[in-house]
Amino acid sequence: MMDFIQTLGRNTRGSFTKLGRATFFLVQTITGIIEILPRPRLLLKQLYSVGVLSFLIISISGLFVGMVLGLQGFYILSDFGAEETLGVMVAASLVRELGPVVSALLFAGRAGSALTAEIGLMKATEQLSGMEMMAVDPIKRIISPRFLAGVISMPLLAALFSAIGIIGGQIVGSGLLGVDEGAYWSQMQAKIDFQDDIINGVIKSLVFGFVTSWIALFEGYDAIPTSEGVSRATTRTVVNSAFSILGLDFILTALMFGDD
C-alpha cells in the first residue's frame, strides 16, 4: 500500500515536472524564432522536410476521404431525396472537422515522429551537447526552425486536404452517382460561411500545428539518449499528439460552433 502511494506521488510529481520543462522549452523555442528570422534558409530546409514531404500523403488521404464522404453521403441523403445537399455535407464535414483533424493526425504520424526521432538521435549521438560546446544554442539552431516550419505547414496542409477532399467528393458525387454539379457547388456556397467555417478551420489547424510540433520537438529533446529511449519518445509523440488533437478539437468545436 505504501509502495502504491509512493509510486503515485512520484509519477504525479514527475508529470508536473515534465509539463514545467515542456513549458520552459516552449518559451525558449518561441523566443528563438525571432533570432532565426534573419536566416530564412534554416526555415526553408525544415519547410521542405516537414511540409513538402507530407504533401503526398495528405493529398492522397484527402482525395480518398472526400470520395468516401461523397459515397456515404449520397447513400444516406438519397434516402431523403436530398442528394443536392451532398456538397454541403462533404464541404462542412471536411472544412470544419475532418480537414484539420485528419491532416493533423497524419502530420503527427508523418512529420512529428520524424522530428522526435531526428532530435532524439542528435541527443543520443551528442550532437546537441557538441553544439553547446561550440557556443551554439541548439534550441535556436535546431528546434526553433522546425517548430516554425510545423506551425506554417499545418494550415496549408489542412487547406489542401479539404480542397482536394471536396473535389474528390465532387468526382464521386456528380461524376459517378449523378448529383447535379451546379447544385453541388451552389448549395455549398450558400451554406458554408467564410467566417464561421473556413476561418475557424484554419484556426483549428494552426492550433493543431502548434501543439503537434511542440510535443514532437519536446519529446525528442527530452528523450533518454539511448536507442530504446528514442523509440519510446517517438511512440509518445504519436500517442500524445493524437490525444491532444482530438481533445483540443472537442474544446475548439464547442467554443467555435457553439451558438449557431
Partner 1 sequence: MQHSNTQDTLVGLFVAAGIAGLFFLALQVSNLSSFTEQKGYTITARFENSGGLKVKSPVSAAGVKIGQVSDISFDPKTYESVVKMRINAQYNSIPDDTTASIFTAGLLGEQYVSLEPGGSSEHLKQNSNIEITQSAIILEKAIGQFLFKSAEEKK
Contact between 120 and partner 1 per CB under 8 A:
no
The CB-of-96 to partner 1 minimum distance in angstroms stands at: 11
Residue number with CB closer to partner 1 (65 or 159): 159
DSSP class per residue in 180-216: -HHHHHHHHHHH--IIIIIIHHHHHHHHHHHHHHHHH
Residue 223, judged by CB atoms within 10 A of its CB (0-12, 13-18, 19+), counts as buried
CA-based R_g, the chain, Å:
21
Residue 4 within binding range of partner 1, rule CB under 8 A: no
**Residue from 30, 137, 185, 231 that binds partner 1 (CB under 8 A)?**
185
Inter-residue contact 113 to 237 (CB < 8 Å): yes
Going by the DSSP 8-state scheme, the letter that residue 38 receives in this structure is T
C-alpha cell at 238: 504519436
Task: Please tell me the count of residues contacting partner 1 according to CB under 8 A.
Answer: 31
- Applying CB under 8 A, which part among 12-20, 136-144, 158-166, 215-223 lies near partner 1? 158-166
Q: Is 166 in the site for partner 1 (CB under 8 A)?
A: yes
Q: Footprint of partner 1 on residues 7-66 (CB under 8 A)?
A: 44-45, 47-48, 51-52, 55
| 242 CB neighbour count, 10 Å cutoff | 18
Cβ closer to partner 1: 34 or 44? 44
Interatomic CA distance for residues 239 and 226, integer angstroms:
20
Q: Which residues make up the interface to partner 1 (CB under 8 A)?
A: 44-45, 47-48, 51-52, 55, 91, 95, 153, 155-157, 159-160, 162-164, 166, 185, 188-194, 197-198, 201-202
